[in-house]
Structures are given as C-alpha cells and as structure tokens.
Amino acid sequence: MVSFAQSPCVPADREHDMAEIVLPVIREALDACGLTRDDIDFFASGSHDFYEGRTFSYIESLDAVGAWPPISESHVEMDAAWAFAEAWAWLQLGEGQTAMVYGIGRSSLAADLDQILPAQLDPYLLAPLRPHRDALAGLQARALIDAGLLTERQLAEIVSRYKDVAVDKLMDAPHVAAPLRAHDIAPPGDAAAVIVLAAGDTARRLTAHPAWVRGLDHRMETHYPGVRDLTCSPSTRRAGERAAELAGFATADVQVAELHTEYSYQEPLLVAELGLKNAEVNPSGGPLAGWPATATGLIRIGEAARRIMDGTTGRALAHATNGPALQHNLVCLLAAQPRDPGQPRDPGQPRDAAQPPEAAQPREPEQPREPEQPRDAGQPREPGQPCDAAQPRDAAQPRDTAQPPEAAQARDAAPARDAAPARDAGEAR
Amino acid sequence: MTLPEPVETTSSPLYMNYTYVAGTGRSVFLRGLNERRLLARHCPGCSLVYAPAPEFCSRCLRPVGPPFELPGTGEVSTFCVVNFPFPGQVYEPPYVVAHIMLDGAHNRLMHLVREVAPEEVTIGLRVEPVWVDDDELDTSTTSIRYFRPIGRPTRDVAAVPYAQTPIGPADA
C-alpha cells in the first residue's frame, strides 16, 4: 500500500453525487504517491445498491476514475475491503503493477434503514419478521453477556474510551435494542475512501514507507443466524489464523488493530478471537465514530496502513465485516517490512521480492480440518478465550440443569438423537 | 411417488424510501429545466460540451466551466418506436423515444418525439422542445413535454454516423 485517503464521514451529504464524493479523495490519494489515474492498471471498488436505492449505482462513480478510454475495473456489492482483497490478489497474480481500490458508503440515503437492512436476511423465515436493524446485534450482545463474557458496564467502558463520556452517564442512557444503547451503535454517515496498491519495486519507488500486505483472508458463516453460536466468531478466528500463516507473524504480534466494530460489544469478541494482546484498538476512533456503510471496512485497512506508512507502527491488523452479527469477516495483516525473501514464497509475499522463480514452493496442502468442537454450553468461557478452542465434549454427557424442561422431554421422546443433540453436532440450537 | 406440494407464494412486501442526491453538476442542469433553459458546460481540458453536464469531465477529470444556454434545438441521432403497452405507461403506443443531439452539445439527451407519425421519424430529423405550462415546471426532465419536428432532415444521414462516439475516440 502506497497511499490512503478518505473524506470526512458526515451524517448526510446532500450536496454531492457519488462521483463528486469520491473524486477529491481519488485526487488526494494519487497526489500523495505521485501517480495519475493513467498510471493505474486496475480499479476495484465496493458499494451496495440497497444503500443507494437503484441498480448498478456504482457505475456513476466510474466517472471519477475516468472510465474512458475503457479501463480494467471490478466492483464488489459489499464492503470495499473485499475490493481490496480482489485488487491485492490481482497484483499477486502479476496482472499489473498498480491498483486503486475505492469504497463509497452512504448510510444516509435510505429514509429508514429498518426498511433496507431486513433485505439482507433470508427472505423465507427472517425478512418477513422485519427485525429492527439492531435486533440481531442485540441478540448477539445479550448472548455474550449471558455467557459471562461481557457486561453492560463493559460496553459503556468501551464507548467511554471513544467518546470521552463518563461510564455512569452512558449507563443512564435508555436502551435501543437491549442490551444495546444508542451509543453502542455506529452512527450512519456518508464517506469515501481510496487506497493505492503497488507491487514490490513499484511500491518502493513510489514511497519510502509502503505498508506491505503480508496476509489476507476472509471467511463466512452460514446465512441463517439461528444456526450460529453468536457468542463466538469462528470466521474471524480462522481468517486471522490463515492471514497469520501467510504473513509469517501472529495476529497477537500487532501493535495496532483497526476493527470493523459496528457495535461496541463486537470489540472484545474480535479481540478475543484474534488473540490480540497489547494492540492499540481502533486508534482512528473506529466505526463508533462514523459508519459510512460499505466504505467502513476499507477505512479500517487504510487506517491500519497509515500507522505503518507514518512510521509509528511496525505491524498492524485490519478487520472488516459484512452481514448481520459478524457473519462474514476479513483479516488483513500489514507490516513495515516485506516478508523475508529467504523464506519460501507464499502468496503473502510481494511478487517481485528478490528470489529466483524456482524458490517458489507450492504451499503445503492444508491439513485436514479438525471437526468444529462446539463449546460446552455448561461451562462459561473465560473472557478472551476463543469459543472454538478444542474443548472435547463427551457427546453423551448429560446437559446441565439450565436446559429448558421441554427440550429435555423432547430428548426423552427421541432417545436416538439423545446421544448427539443437534447443538452438539454444530447444527442447530 | 409424488413429492409434497411446495409452498408457492408467501407475501413479504419490501418498501424502501430513498433520498436521491442530484449532485452539484446535475443540479445546474435540473435548475435550468425549471426555467425552460437547456444549460450546457464546456470542458477546458478536452473541449467537449456536455448537456446535461457533470461537475467535472468524466474523460479528463477537469472541472467543467460555467453553464451557458443552448438554443434548445437539435436533431434525432437515433430513435425507437415503442409498440407495446406496460404498467405505468404515459403515452399510448406506438410512440417514439429518441436520442437527441442538442445543437452545440457533444452528448445526447434522451426524450420523446411527438407531433409526428412514428413512421415519418428519421435519424437527422430536426427537433425543438415543447415545454410544459408554467405551473408544471420543475427541476426535472419532465419540464420538457416532448420534442417535435421543426422541418425535414437537413443533413445526409450517412454523413453523421452514430458510431462516432460523442466523447471522442478511445485512442485519443
């Protein structure tokens, strides 16, 4: 990464269209690394028609990159962090030397986000219920509190860190989607962000301090939230582990972590799943300072990289999410140094690192996966302990007494299933 | 063996209300329509004249110049005849939808062509706007009711090939 720029996140931009929002940010990002748009080999962007209210809405933004003569470009209908993932992969494949990623997020155009956000849910069983836009987050927050992993006071303490408001005062605020209060929820806004990527020597030529993308991975959980254990985020965990494998350093070793927390409660959950130890979390203020929809995750990558490009940080982590209650998670690991060329080549390493082509070793095939071990519901997890850590559970072990009696009756009536209740098989609660 | 009947329908109507932001460039053109003026803007970088105009040239990315008024006349650069009925249709088919190259502009405006039988419309047909009454004027393309002919085609159609891209050749 050689450049990052973003526009201020404003509650509602009623003056500028999509192209007008992003063009000044593109200019700033290009100027910072001394490039013009003609120097860019590939453009990737992210936005979402449901926030914009029309089909193929992103086409308007192409006016800001100069799509004539025709350019090589791609778009993701989701957070622009995934456009970043595509552009990075494109450079890793050697398709070109430079790429620009931009994200536009306008949370303010929908008159009522409660009309919009149910459309992301399963249309048969969930969308007809029209859950309040924060209801699924409320379910997850409540589950975490009930599991002993969080308290409402801790949520207030997290928010207090960002907003400089006393914890007791925050605790006095009314609930919006209990246990969540308004300040626990990222405020909608409009903004754009732009990142310029360059491969190896091109990056070295463009800036003295590039932020090297050492590893990136993203994992998705099932579409139906009722199937998930909301007290954990195995997709974040696995994405972090894979990114670390590519990067050659652990997520625990970063000094800065920019997390895509659209709700306060997500911060400790993500910190635990990523195994962060001493990292400064969201020094930018994070999404609780402003939630420009599909630009939010890309801004996390930009903010993490900025700390490396300005020389204040050696290793940083960025996280982005899509979908309800942290359904789909991306982890990107960045460092001030590229991967040691002496190590076997890995997709996390810049393509033109000084090494002969024959040094490129195919990656070891992934080890067969351990089956997911659902955590024992009867044993509260320590805060910070990942939920899918190996906790052998005897399938025949009797459930604890907290189980609702009707469920126990059902099991009695169906002894064949008793040995492997659905939850223990990781299927359904 | 017969499979159980699937559920064929379930009702879950989605209503979504949006605020559309016209943007600074487009707003200039829309305000002009509210005053029966067709406003164009000139790009200082590549000399293109846009009507409607964005705030900056999508080809060279330079801010475009101040707005100026076009005479409003133009010619049909291509058209089609709508022959089928559909919900929400305003005019009874058949009617003509056309790309109109306004005199003095380098890009085309889409609108209706009426007061002429569809079979008499040709590429190159000279047209002028028919504006709505004062009380119907709005910051909208509906301030122009339609375009109508102002004579016969004045140019040889073959001399103005549509394929000549209005924003310039790709290798420029």
Q: What is the pLDDT of residues A75-89, one digit of tens each?
A: 999 999 999 999 999
Q: Give the up-direction half-sphere exposure of residue A288: CA atoms within 13 A in the CB hemisphere.
A: 26
CB contact under 8 A, A116 and B171: no
All structural domains of chain B with their residue ranges:
24-152
Q: How far apart are CA A131 and CA A137, in angstroms?
A: 11
Cβ-Cβ contacts under 8 Å, A111 against chain B? 17-19
Cα end-to-end span (Å), chain A: 43
User: What are the residues whose beta carbons fall under 8 Å from the beta carbon of A338, sequence distance 6 or more?
Assistant: A200, A212, A214, A349, A350, A353
User: What are the residues whose beta carbons fall under 8 Å from the beta carbon of A113, sequence distance 6 or more?
Assistant: A107, A133, A188
User: What are the residues whose beta carbons fall under 8 Å from the beta carbon of A168, sequence distance 6 or more?
Assistant: none
Q: In one letter, which amino acid is A291? A: W
Largest CA distance in chain B: 74
Nearest residue of chain A to residue B12 (CA atoms):
A128
Mutation to test the B interface, candidates A22, A23, A120, A121, most B Cβ within 10 Å = A23
Mutation to test the A interface, candidates B9, B15, B18, most A Cβ within 10 Å = B18
**A252, A277 contact by CB (below 8 A):** yes
Cβ-Cβ contacts under 8 Å, A19 against chain B? 23, 54-56, 58
CA A9 to chain centre: 18
Q: How far apart are CA A315 and CA A346, in angstroms?
A: 18
Q: Which residues pair with B131 in a beta bridge?
A: B144
Q: How confident is the model at residue A320 (pLDDT cuts 50, 70, 90)?
A: very high
- Whether a cis peptide bond, with omega within 30° of 0, leads into A11 is no
User: What are the residues whose beta carbons fall under 8 Å from the beta carbon of A190, sequence distance 6 or more?
Assistant: A9, A10, A11, A12, A13, A21, A105, A106, A107, A108, A109, A292
Cβ-Cβ contacts under 8 Å, B21 against chain A? 13-17, 109
CA A338, A344, A348, A354 torsion-angle sign: positive
ipTM: 0.85
Structural tokens at position A159: 């928010």
Q: Is A17 on the interface with B (CB under 8 A)?
A: yes
- A7 or A416, which is more confident? A7
All CATH 3.40.47.10 domain ranges in chain A, comma separated: 3-109+187-354
Question: What pLDDT is recorded for position B121?
Answer: 94
Q: Is A115 on the interface with B (CB under 8 A)?
A: yes
User: Strand pairing of B74-82 and B126-131?
Assistant: antiparallel
Q: In one letter, which amino acid is A198? A: A
Cα distances from A202 to residues A25, A34, A194, A205, A286, in angstroms, run 22, 12, 18, 5, 30
Q: What is the dihedral of CA B2, B6, B8, B10, to 10 degrees?
A: 160
Q: What is the pLDDT of residues A241-264, one digit of tens each?
A: 999 999 999 999 999 999 999 999
Mutation to test the B interface, candidates A15, A68, A109, most B Cβ within 10 Å = A68
Nearest residue, CB atoms, B21 vs list A13, A66, A110: A13
Q: How far apart are CA A182 and CA A177, in angstroms?
A: 8
High-pLDDT (> 70) share of chain B, %? 87
Q: In one letter, which amino acid is A285? A: G
Q: Which residues pair with A335 in a beta bridge?
A: A212, A315
Q: What is the pLDDT of residues B119-146, one digit of tens each?
A: 999 999 999 999 999 999 999 999 999 9
DSSP-assigned letter for residue A83: H
Cβ-Cβ contacts under 8 Å, B168 against chain A? 68
Spatial CA neighbour of A140 closest among A313, A326, A381: A326
CB contact under 8 A, B58 and A66: yes
Region A185-212 average pLDDT: 97
Is residue A22 within a helix (H) or strand (E), and if so which, with residue range?
Answer: helix A18-33
Q: How far apart are CA A166 and CA A159, in angstroms?
A: 9
Question: What are the contacts of B98-102 at 24+ separation with CB within 8 A?
Answer: B98/B127, B98/B147, B100/B74, B100/B75, B100/B76, B100/B127, B100/B147, B101/B74, B101/B75, B101/B77, B101/B166, B102/B38, B102/B40, B102/B51, B102/B70, B102/B72, B102/B73, B102/B74
Q: How far apart are CA A100 and CA A83, in angstroms?
A: 9
Question: What pLDDT is recorded for position A69?
Answer: 83
CB contact under 8 A, A128 and B12: yes
Q: What is the pLDDT of residues A5-64, one digit of tens each?
A: 999 999 999 999 999 999 999 999 999 999 999 999 999 999 999 999 999 999 999 999
CATH architecture assigned to A3-109+187-354: 3-Layer(aba) Sandwich (3.40)
CB-neighbour burial class of residue A385 (10 A; exposed 0-12, middle 13-18, buried 19+): middle
Q: How confident is the model at residue A342 (pLDDT cuts 50, 70, 90)?
A: low
Average pLDDT across each block of 10 residues of chain B; the chain has 172 residues. List them in order: 88 93 96 97 93 91 95 95 91 94 94 95 95 97 96 49 49 48
- A25 or A355, which is more confident? A25
Q: How far apart are CA B62 and CA B42, in angstroms?
A: 10
**A101, A44 contact by CB (below 8 A):** yes
Q: Is A127 on the interface with B (CB under 8 A)?
A: yes
Mean pLDDT of chain A: 85
User: What are the residues whose beta carbons fall under 8 Å from the beta carbon of B94, sequence distance 6 or more?
Assistant: B81, B82, B83, B118
Q: How far is A301 from chain B (nearest CA, A)?
A: 27
**A275, A333 contact by CB (below 8 A):** no
Burial A30-55 (b: 16+ CB within 10 A, else e): bebbebebebbbbbbbbbbebbbbee
Q: How confident is the model at residue A389 (pLDDT cuts 50, 70, 90)?
A: very low
Nearest residue of chain B to residue A69 (CA atoms):
B170
High-pLDDT (> 70) share of chain A, %? 79
Structural tokens at position B169: 């050749």
Q: How far is B55 from chain A (nearest CA, A)?
A: 7
Nearest residue of chain B to residue A126 (CA atoms):
B12
Q: How far is A116 from chain B (nearest CA, A)?
A: 6
CA B69, B70, B72, B77 torsion-angle sign: negative
CA A148 to chain centre: 24
CB contact under 8 A, A110 and B17: yes
Which residues of B lie inside 8 Å of A (Cβ-Cβ)?
A: 10-12, 14-26, 54-56, 58-61, 167-168, 170-172
Q: How far is A269 from chain B (nearest CA, A)?
A: 33
Q: How far apart are CA A282 and CA A298, in angstroms?
A: 14
Spatial CA neighbour of A51 closest among A292, A239, A244, A287: A292
